[in-house]
Amino acid sequence: MKRRKFIRNTLLGATATFIGTEIVFSSSIPKNYTPIIQQDPDLYKLFNKDKEMTVLNDKPWNIEAKAHLLDDKITPNKYMFIRNNGIIPQNIDASKWTLIIDGESVFKPKTYTLQDLKTKFKQHTYQLTLECGGNGRSEFNPPAKGNQWTVGAVSCAEWTGVRLKDVLKDVGIKDTAVYIGYHAADTHLSGDPDKEPISRGVPMHKAYQEETLLAFKMNGEAIPLAHGYPLRLVAGGWPASASGKWVNRISIRNKVHDGTKMKAPAYRVPCHPVAHGEKVKDDAMCIIESMPVKSLITYPKSGAMISEGNTLNIRGHAWAGELEVQKMAYSIDFGATWHLCEIAPPVNRLAWQHFSSTVNFPKKGYYEIWVRATDTEGSSQPMLLPGWNPKGYLNNACHRIAVKVK
């Protein structure tokens, strides 16, 4: 982890105190040494995250949840993963924030303040599932470069904002429009102001969906800084990279948006299945749109112990991109047989669904509980791994937990 450098720059550089305690002899700290007390950033203090969250990288910040931390029906900030491609913007003055809508396919660019957005348009609230396209990457073999997400780069928070389609209607969009591309206030890791860390988007049909929001609230409060304060695009059910944080410009393009990380191989998978480790040409890679069907056991925690003769109640969430989860099942025999779980309908389109079941074990010993969701088009999660792809996206394999019956 490149944690050390971060701490030197932000904490040590500014002051030789830590949690209010002076570091006596701080001037003698060797150049590349980080005092023990500074080696572990306090995530709760930095981002109001739970200390059980896993830091995958701190420059940029990439932090994921563990499955059991995602037990809430609506993900609270403290358990929400952070995926940054650049540096979080500093010193934001929301009263001066503006959103420009421009691009080849607007008749005339138009600028809105946050206040304009909040007052001119009707506000809507939806629970929206946001999963990083790279969630589950750590399981691929041969391994793919990038953050080694396990299962915790997914959330379903309640977002409040205005519909992007209402704003676009107010701007006036030409029928040449093909795609929207967002631009945001975060800065490139290199410090180069002309480079954007990420600038992605969605086709017009997704931009025009009722649930696609320009959001200014998350879980009823101002969006936390790390998640896009003060304004964020939220396009649930698609790779979360399409949901631009700190958004200050949206371009309506007359072609597929060509911003940073839109081009192959970023956020693309082979258009047709390939062999493990196969090299894939850029023009044979397709943009990821709706995320695949997936589920997560959030209770109990893997490693749970139960006494013989007792049943175990399991629960978790399931989601299927643009679709719904129609069927949910669990297995305690490594996928040989499956039993149906109860699965609730989503609160609204693109929200994850909650499942539960009661599990009986035939005798003492070690078990694994596997869960598998099936979407409304009949696609089910693969048991161990989906097809390999060079960048390690879209691993929607069955989630598994270990259980011991004593």
Ligand X SMILES: Nc1nc2c(c(=O)[nH]1)N[C@H]1C(S)=C(S)[C@@H](COP(=O)(O)O)O[C@H]1N2
- Does 83 bind Mo ion (CB under 5 A)? Our answer is yes
Determine the interface stretch with ligand X among 239-247, 312-320, 325-333, 338-346 (rule: CB under 6 A).
239-247
Residue-level length of the chain:
406
- Selection from Mo ion, ligand X, none that 67 binds (CB < 5 to 8 A by kind) is none
* Inter-residue contact 74 to 221 (CB < 8 Å): no
Please say whether the beta carbons of 105 and 252 come within 8 A.
Answer: yes
For position 217 contacting ligand X by CB under 6 A, the verdict is: no
User: In degrees rounded to 5, what are phi and psi of residue 176?
Assistant: -85, -5
244 binds, among ligand X, Mo ion, none (CB under 5 to 8 A by kind): ligand X
What CA–CA distance (Å, rounded) separates 121 from 159?
15
Question: Nearest Cα to 74, choosing from 210, 218, 211, 235?
Answer: 218
Are the C-beta atoms of residues 80 and 227 closer than 8 Å to each other?
yes
Residue 241 is a binding residue for Mo ion (CB under 5 A): yes
Site size with ligand X, rule: CB under 6 A = 21
Largest CA distance in the chain: 70
Task: Looking at residues 105 to 164 of the shown chain, list those that interact with Mo ion (rule: CB under 5 A).
Answer: 132
The residue among 38 and 135 lying less far from ligand X, judged by its C-beta, is 135
Q: What are phi and psi of 117, to 5 degrees?
A: -60, -45
Position among 217, 227, 253, 372 found at the interface with ligand X (CB under 6 A): 227
Distances (CA, A) of 20 to 1, 24, 33, 293: 26, 12, 20, 47
Interface positions, 138-177, toward ligand X (CB under 6 A) = 155
CB of 85 to Mo ion, least distance (A): 8
Q: Indicate the helix (H) or strand (E) that contains 216.
A: strand 213-218
Which residue in the set 70, 80, 291, 350 belongs to the binding site for ligand X (CB under 6 A)?
Answer: 80
- 185 vs 5: CA distance, rounded Å: 23
- Both tokens assigned to 8: 């030197």
x-marked contacts with ligand X along 3-32 as a string, rule CB under 6 A:
------------------------------
Residue 214: Cβ-neighbour burial (10 angstroms; 0-12, 13-18, 19+): buried
Nearer to ligand X, 35 or 263 (CB): 263
Which residues within the stretch 83-112 sit at the binding site for ligand X (CB under 6 A)?
83-86
Using the rule CB under 6 A, give the single segment among 90-98, 138-146, 241-249, 378-386 that binds ligand X: 241-249
Segment near ligand X (CB under 6 A), from 43-51, 82-90, 96-104, 113-121? Answer: 82-90
Half-sphere exposure of 106 toward its Cβ, with a 13 Å CA cutoff? 19
For position 127 contacting ligand X by CB under 6 A, the verdict is no
Interface segment toward ligand X; rule CB under 6 A; list 30-38, 80-88, 164-172, 355-363: 80-88
Closest separation in Å from C-beta 243 to ligand X: 5
What is the rounded CA–CA span in Å between residue 256 and residue 180? 8
Applying CB under 5 A, the residues found at the interface with Mo ion are: 83, 132, 241
Applying CB under 6 A, the residues found at the interface with ligand X are: 80-86, 130, 132, 155, 184, 186, 197-198, 227, 240-241, 243-246
